[in-house]
Amino acid sequence: MEEIVWLAQLIRESKKTIVFTGAGVSTESGIPDFRSPGGIWSKYDPEDFTIQRFLSSLDARKTLWKMSAEGELLMEAEPNPAHCAIAELHQLGKLDCVITQNIDNLHQKAGVPEDRVLELHGNMQWVVCLGCHSRFPLLQILQKVKGGTEVPDCPDCQGILKPDVVFFGEALPQDAFCEAARRTQKCDLFIVVGSTLTVYPAADIPIYAGEAGIRLAIVNLTPTPLDHYATVVIQGEAGDILPRVMERVKLS
C-alpha cells in the first residue's frame, strides 16, 4: 500500500515523532472503544460518568464499581502489535513521546518509558480518595468490591473513592495537557492512531499540530474530522498497519 511506504518515509525523515493514541489502538488487545458498534456506550449510559452524577448519586457509584470489577479484564490486557510498533519507534530513537487518551497502561507495558507517556485522561490502575487525596492500587480496592462492598470508601478517611481517570465534566490533568501541547509545537511528525478525534480538549492537540504546519499522519479504521489536515491518512487496523510501517522504516 502506497500510504504505508509514505508514512515510513515521513518517520525516516523525522527526529521527533509524537504518537497520539485513542481507544482504537487498544481494541485489538480486547478492550472495546467507546463509539464503535458494540463499544462501551452501547452497554452503559455515558450520563452515569459525569463527575456531577458520580458525586451526587450512590447508584451511579454502584454502577461504576460494578463496571470496574467487570473491567478487571483491562488490567489483564496485553499490548498488541500496534503498541509494540510504537515502542519500537522509541527503541529506534525516533519517539519524542506518546500522548494518550487511554487509561489502560498498555504503552508502558509495551516498553515505552513512563516519562515518555503523557496520559490526558489518567490511568485506570489507580484509585484516588476525593477527601484526603491518597492513592490506592485499583486491585486493592476491587478486593473489597469482590468481597461484596458495593461502594468502597477510603481505607484512611472513609472519603469517596474515584478511579484516577478523568470523568466527563472534569478538568484534564493540567501538567500532562500543557506538556503535550508544548511538545507538540516542537515535534516534526505527529501520528494519530485509533481516535475519532472528537473528544475535547484532547482533540485540540492534533489541531495544534495541524495549525503549526507539522506533518500529520492518521491511522484509523474510520474517517476523522482532521483527515483534510493530514499529510497521509491510512484507513485500517492499527495492529496490521503499524508493524508494516515499522518494517519499512527498518529497511533503510
Catalytic residues: 121
Report the SS3 class of residue 158.
coil
- 8-state DSSP, 191: E
Name the minimum Å distance from CB 217 to ligand NAD. Answer: 13
From the list 9, 16, 40, 51, which residue makes contact with ligand NAD (rule: CB under 6 A)?
Answer: 40
Helix, strand, coil percentages for the chain (3-state, nearest 5):
45, 20, 35
Contacts within 8 Å (CB) and 24+ apart, 224-229:
224/192, 224/195, 224/196, 224/197, 224/198, 225/197, 225/198, 226/192, 226/197
Tell whether residue 194 is a contact of ligand NAD (CB under 6 A): yes
From the list 17, 101, 108, 184, which residue makes contact with ligand NAD (rule: CB under 6 A)?
Answer: 101
DSSP H stretches of helix in 71-229 = 73-76, 81-91, 106-110, 138-146, 174-186, 204-211
Count H helices and E strands in the chain, helices first: 10, 9
Contact string 150-189 vs ligand NAD (x = CB under 6 A): ----------------------------------------
How many chain residues interact with ligand NAD (CB under 6 A)?
28
Tell whether residue 222 is a contact of ligand NAD (CB under 6 A): yes
Closest by Cα among 172, 174, 171, 130 to 153: 130
Using the rule CB under 6 A, give the single segment among 45-53, 61-69, 184-192, 214-222 that binds ligand NAD: 214-222
Name the minimum Å distance from CB 160 to ligand NAD. Answer: 21
From the list 48, 96, 104, 164, which residue makes contact with ligand NAD (rule: CB under 6 A)?
Answer: 104
Tell whether residue 195 is a contact of ligand NAD (CB under 6 A): yes
Tell me which H or E stretch contains 59: helix 58-70
- Is the Cβ of residue 85 or residue 154 nearer to ligand NAD in the bound state? 85
Neighbouring residues of 230: CB distance < 8 A, sequence distance ≥ 6: 192, 210, 216, 217, 218
Using the rule CB under 6 A, give the single segment among 22-30, 48-56, 138-146, 147-155 that binds ligand NAD: 22-30
Neighbouring residues of 163: CB distance < 8 A, sequence distance ≥ 6: 64, 68, 122, 124, 126, 127, 128, 138
Which cell goes with 147?
468481597
Tell whether residue 35 is a contact of ligand NAD (CB under 6 A): yes
From the list 75, 130, 207, 221, which residue makes contact with ligand NAD (rule: CB under 6 A)?
Answer: 221
- Is the Cβ of residue 32 or residue 159 nearer to ligand NAD in the bound state? 32
Name the minimum Å distance from CB 15 to ligand NAD. Answer: 26
User: Which residues are at the interface with ligand NAD (CB under 6 A)?
Assistant: 22-24, 26-28, 31, 33-36, 39-40, 101-104, 121, 194-196, 199, 220-222, 237-239
